[in-house]
DNA sequence: GCGATTTAGCGTCAGGTTTA
DNA sequence: TAAACCTGACGCTAAATCGC
């Protein structure tokens, strides 16, 4: 049986888009074949989207930066930014589909699929998905490695949407990736129309997860129990999914899977054993806070107001930071003072942060204006040069017109003089009975023949220097 | 290498402004 | 109107830089 397959191990220069398209085509071909088992092996770009290590994060940052540069070069990115934001919101409602599609594309691994025709014009594909069995919280260790395969049911409909049912987790977890979302983001990825705004949100999420990855296991545990941080991870999931979809519609499954593993690798507060784990984590957080100076500890609490909220002291701090005015009525003066100092520390930090951003903005504005000023100065110099050249041409034209008028005046005077001399000469010859009736010199300077030629020559050639010399010579000879 | 200087960040105070 | 907020000013500390 000839199987549709894809293997880019020998194509190091294949781009991500080409790789995605090739894998897409291979999967479609596998589905169309009906009963084939296709092999997909990717070696290059798709793996860059796995967030399972610091290196992978850096790769994703690099890829995102490339998209940012491409977006900055295209004004249409603004429209795509709005569209992608909406799609990002829609993705929040479809993340289960991507989550359950984990492992469809995995680096250095083969994907074996057996497809079957379905009476309802759908094709079911059994997929062996490599997954993560380890609960190790070491962020540097690969998450997808040496894992026991799990079985999932994948249904690919005629509209190319993917429905995945992970039989190892929840049977009702099947969800559908909207074809419109898939198509729109894929289209945006093909044209590299990702805006700087969208890029910024991705970068912010990546920075957060980067910080999480840098934490040690104890801090990681406390971090994951913070509701705010849980929300952060959710936001990361949505935007990172959008980013991944924009770059590689198929690799998003692996990305989301790894992100889930990142969350699941830490104790989950909503499980039955979460109470004990929560207490241990709170103790760890309190230990961390207690190990640092008082002022710094207060600052740390201010930075993460929800950390360690089981203790009474932290409740007070929470109230202190939450702006509850009624809580200060029962306080002593010293407590009020401590509360005020704490709040002022936080306010001062925010103020400095705001001021720094303002200064940076001013610097950017200054640099931009300087550049624009230099450009305008250059443009001004060019325009002044053009104006000067134009003025010079006007002066030259005036001078030429004046010179032509003078020449015409001289010529008129010369013709009149020659005419009078010829008339006198003819009169003398008539009285002295001269044999030759025609004087050659007079005939050569006849005004009927020479005057029009000279004037026309001056006017047509627009060469006043040459014309003036000719006219002056002729006039002199005539005189 | 070492002391002097610069820079960045922080905590605190004070005073004006905003809010409930 | 008290509490909260915002921000300039001051002093302190640690790290970076510079000059010898």
The C-alpha atoms of residue A113 and residue A126 are separated, in whole angstroms, by: 6
**How many Cβ atoms from other residues are within 10 Å of residue A300's Cβ?**
15
- pLDDT value at A104 more than 60: no
CB A211 within 8 A of CB A239: no
A345 touches strand B (CB under 7 A): yes
pLDDT of residue A65: 56
Residues of chain A (274-333) having a beta carbon less than 7 angstroms from strand B: 295-296, 298-299, 325
3-state class (DSSP) for residue A266: coil
The average confidence (pLDDT) of chain A is: 48
Q: Per-residue pLDDT for A403 more than 60?
A: yes
A336 touches strand B (CB under 7 A): no
Quote the distance between the C-alpha of residue A29 and its chain's center: 34
Tens digit of pLDDT for each residue in A244-275? Answer: 333 333 233 333 333 333 333 333 322 222 22
* Higher pLDDT among residues A205 and A357, named by residue: A357
Query: Mean pLDDT highest for which of A237-241, A310-314, A429-433?
Result: A429-433
**A349 is near strand B: CB distance < 7 Å:** yes
Q: Which residue has the higher pLDDT, A352 or A455?
A: A352
Q: How far is the CA of A343 from the C1' of B16 (A)?
A: 18
- Distance CA(A102)–CA(A325), nearest Å, equals 49
DSSP annotation of A125: E
pLDDT of residue A382: 94
Please say whether the beta carbons of A258 and A51 come within 8 A. yes
Can you tell me the distance from the alpha carbon of A10 to that of A189, in angstroms, rounded to the nearest whole number? 24
Considering A73-77, A167-171, A374-378, A445-449, the range whose residues carry the highest mean pLDDT is: A374-378
Answer for A360: CB within 7 Å of strand B: no
* DSSP β-bridge partners for residue A40: A6
**Strand C reaches within 7 A of the A347 CB:** yes
- Mean pLDDT: which of A28-42, A287-301, A449-463 is highest? A28-42
Residue with tokens 């806070």: A289
- What tens digit of pLDDT does each residue of A18-77 get? 555 555 565 556 545 654 344 545 445 444 333 344 454 455 455 555 555 554 544 344
Question: What distance in Å separates the CA atoms of residue A408 and residue A413, rounded to the nearest whole number?
Answer: 9
Mean pLDDT within A224-237:
36
Helices (H), A265-332: 274-290, 294-303, 312-322
CA distance A230 to A220: 12
In whole angstroms, give the CA distance from residue A246 to residue A194: 8
Residue A164 Cα distances to A87, A145, A177, A299, A436, angstroms: 20, 22, 9, 46, 125
Closest-lying nucleotide for A338 based on CA to C1':
B12
DSSP state of A64: H
Q: Is the dihedral of CA A23, A27, A30, A32 positive or negative?
A: negative
pLDDT digit string (tens) for A135-165? 222 322 222 222 222 222 222 222 222 222 2
Q: How far is the CA of A59 from the C1' of C6 (A)?
A: 41
Q: Is the CB of A427 under 7 A from strand C?
A: no
| B14 C1' to A248 CA distance, Å | 56
Q: In which region does residue A150 sit, left (phi positive, over 0), alpha (psi from -120 to 50) or beta (all else)?
A: beta
pLDDT of amino acid A52:
41
- CB atoms under 10 Å from CB of A217, counted, come to 14
pLDDT of residue A367: 85
Which has the higher per-residue pLDDT, A426 or A143? A426
pLDDT value, residue A420: 73
Q: Which of A258, A183, A218, A200 is nearest to A67 (CA)?
A: A200
Closest-lying nucleotide for A345 based on CA to C1': B11
DSSP string, A70-119: HHHT-TTHHHHHHHHHHHHHHHHTTHHHHHHTTTSS-BT----EEEEE-T
Q: Is the pLDDT of residue A373 over 70?
A: yes
A352 touches strand B (CB under 7 A): yes
What is the C-alpha separation between A93 and A176, in angstroms, rounded? 10
Give the pLDDT band of residue A121 (cuts 50, 70, 90): very low
């Amino acid at each position: 049986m000839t199987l549709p397959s894809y293997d880019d191990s020998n194509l190091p220069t294949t781009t991500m888009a080409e790789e995605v398209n090739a894998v897409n085509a291979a999967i479609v071909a596998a589905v169309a074949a009906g009963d084939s088992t296709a092999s997909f092996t990717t070696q290059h770009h798709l793996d860059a989207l796995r967030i399972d290590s610091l290196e992978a994060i850096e790769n994703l940052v690099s890829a995102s930066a490339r998209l940012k540069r491409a977006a900055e070069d295209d004004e249409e990115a603004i429209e795509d930014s709005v569209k992608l934001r909406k799609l990002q919101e829609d993705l929040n409602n479809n993340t289960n589909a991507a989550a359950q599609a984990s492992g469809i594309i995995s680096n250095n691994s083969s994907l074996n699929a057996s497809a079957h025709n379905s009476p309802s014009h759908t094709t079911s594909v059994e997929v062996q998905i490599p997954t993560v069995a380890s609960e190790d919280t070491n962020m540097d260790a690969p998450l997808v490695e040496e894992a026991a395969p799990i079985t999932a049911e994948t249904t690919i409909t005629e509209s190319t949407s993917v429905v995945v049912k992970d039989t190892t987790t929840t049977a009702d977890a099947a969800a559908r990736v909207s074809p419109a979302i898939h198509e729109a983001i894929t289209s945006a990825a093909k044209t590299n129309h990702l805006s700087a705004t969208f890029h910024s949100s991705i970068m912010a999420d990546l920075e957060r997860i980067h910080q999480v990855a840098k934490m040690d296991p104890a801090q990681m545990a406390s971090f994951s129990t913070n509701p705010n941080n849980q929300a952060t991870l959710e936001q990361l999931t949505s935007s990172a999914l959008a980013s991944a979809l924009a770059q590689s519609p198929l690799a998003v499954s692996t990305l989301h899977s790894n992100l889930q593993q990142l969350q699941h690798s830490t104790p989950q507060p909503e499980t039955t054993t979460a109470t004990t784990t929560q207490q241990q984590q709170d103790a760890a957080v309190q230990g961390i806070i207690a190990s640092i100076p008082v002022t710094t500890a207060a600052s740390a609490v201010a930075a993460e107001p929800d950390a360690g909220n089981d203790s009474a002291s932290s409740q007070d701090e929470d109230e202190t930071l939450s702006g509850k005015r009624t809580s200060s009525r029962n306080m002593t003066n010293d407590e009020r003072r401590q509360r005020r100092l704490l709040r002022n520390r936080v306010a001062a930090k925010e103020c400095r942060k705001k001021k720094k951003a303002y200064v940076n903005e001013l610097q950017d504005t200054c640099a931009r204006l300087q550049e624009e000023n230099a450009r305008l100065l250059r443009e001004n110099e060019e325009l002044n040069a053009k104006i000067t050249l134009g003025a010079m041409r006007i002066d030259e034209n005036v001078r030429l017109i004046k010179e032509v008028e003078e020449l015409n005046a001289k010529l008129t005077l010369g013709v009149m003089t020659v005419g009078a001399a010829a008339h006198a000469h003819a009169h003398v010859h008539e009285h002295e009975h001269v044999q030759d009736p025609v004087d050659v010199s007079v005939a050569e300077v006849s005004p009927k023949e020479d005057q029009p030629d000279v004037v026309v020559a001056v006017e047509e050639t627009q060469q006043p220097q040459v014309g003036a010399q000719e006219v002056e010579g002729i006039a002199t000879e005539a005189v």
